[in-house]
Amino acid sequence: MGLLATNNMPVDKKVNGKNTGEKKLSPRHPFIHPGSALSVTHFTLEDVRHILEQATKLESMNIERRARLYAKRRVALLFYESSTRTRTSFELAAKSLGADTVLVSALSSSIEKGESLKDTGITLRALGAECIILRHPNSGAPYLLAQTTGLPILNAGDGIHEHPSQALLDLRTILTRLRGKRPPKSNPIEKINERTLRGVTVAIVGDILHSRVARSNALLLPRLGAQVILCGPEPLLPSYAAGIGPGVEIERDFERALAKSQVVMMLRIQKERLAGLQLDLDDYTQRYQLHLDRFLAHAPDALVMHPGPMIRGLEITSEIADGANSAVAEQVRHGTAIRMALLARALDAKPSRSKSAGGRA
């Protein structure tokens, strides 16, 4: 399970061999609404281009006009895990479009009493939800919800599988900073193709094993021409992770990885997932922390990113997190625009009448 899991089914099932990340789940699949966003591998590069263009269009739009686009449409946020950035970003995105939102958390609903994900989804659909944004600790949960409800499901993070909207907002951040564009005043984003990020190397550093952010970025960025370097100690980065697809390599030495990179994406150590792993945090900090001396010596011009939450003093120091090269706050801002675009895509898409799920037309 983890980095090599298949993307066309819940990732409780392993696959043998390498996954190129290029297989796309057809929007005509009988169980998946075409407005769903379950995995970055389900997007064509044309889909990616459209989402980025729509994000810029919506971000630039008059606030009052934008708030009428999806007035009174109903969006449910179903969060089984704690979240600040992703949940708030999706909620603000939905409200910016005029949609009504309802938050359902595991600690304040029938979920606490043992209700299944399937029944919760069916209940939300019966109450009028037109789209569900799901964060769940189990990998593959969004697929189950998509198949049982027939609604568009936006994956806000499932276990250690994927986080599609994060990869898209990271891509928008990289394009904006490396190419000097500043949405929303810029022209529509250039055509996205397999050469868009050619010559760009992105180092992703830290707890790769448990990171859905690392997985989604490693599956998306190489399709646009980027080289991705995964960097971390063996307990957090098994050697087989290089098999996630083309354009991905492993480098254990952080300073060598930095020297090759134009972008460095730091990940937090997920202490809640470290049970049974042999990892010395003091040794990790010494070898993999991004601090000023290391940064200036090996990648003084690199763009610094972090999906959050940051643990200052562990994987990154404050002088780097708050420095001129940091795009951490920009990632958050781009997140709202990307999630507006994903919601618009979800609410606009129409399922095939003959192939809709859950018995719905």
Residue ranges of the alpha helices (H) in the chain?
45-60, 63-66, 85-96, 117-126, 141-149, 164-178, 212-220, 254-260, 281-288, 292-298, 318-321, 328-348
Q: Which residues pair with 103 in a beta bridge?
A: 77
The confidence score (pLDDT) of residue 59 equals: 97
The confidence score (pLDDT) of residue 276 equals: 66
What contacts 346, CB < 8 A, 6 or more positions away? Answer: 33, 35, 36, 37, 131, 152, 154
The confidence score (pLDDT) of residue 47 equals: 97
Q: Matching CATH topology for 40-161+335-348 and 164-331? A: yes
Q: How far apart are CA 30 and CA 32, in angstroms?
A: 6
Q: For the chain, which residues make up each domain, given as ranges?
A: 40-161+335-348, 164-331
The confidence score (pLDDT) of residue 270 equals: 76
Query: Mean pLDDT by 10-residue block, N- to C-terminus, for the chain (361 residues)?
Result: 47 32 43 94 96 97 98 97 94 98 80 84 97 96 96 97 98 90 47 93 96 97 98 94 94 98 94 71 94 98 96 96 97 98 96 50 31
The confidence score (pLDDT) of residue 39 equals: 98
The confidence score (pLDDT) of residue 188 equals: 40
Q: Residue 207 has which token pair?
A: 């707890």
- Architecture of domain 40-161+335-348 in CATH? 3-Layer(aba) Sandwich (3.40)
Give the domain 164-331 fold. Rossmann fold (3.40.50)
The confidence score (pLDDT) of residue 3 equals: 58
What contacts 196, CB < 8 A, 6 or more positions away? Answer: 175, 190, 224, 225
The confidence score (pLDDT) of residue 361 equals: 31
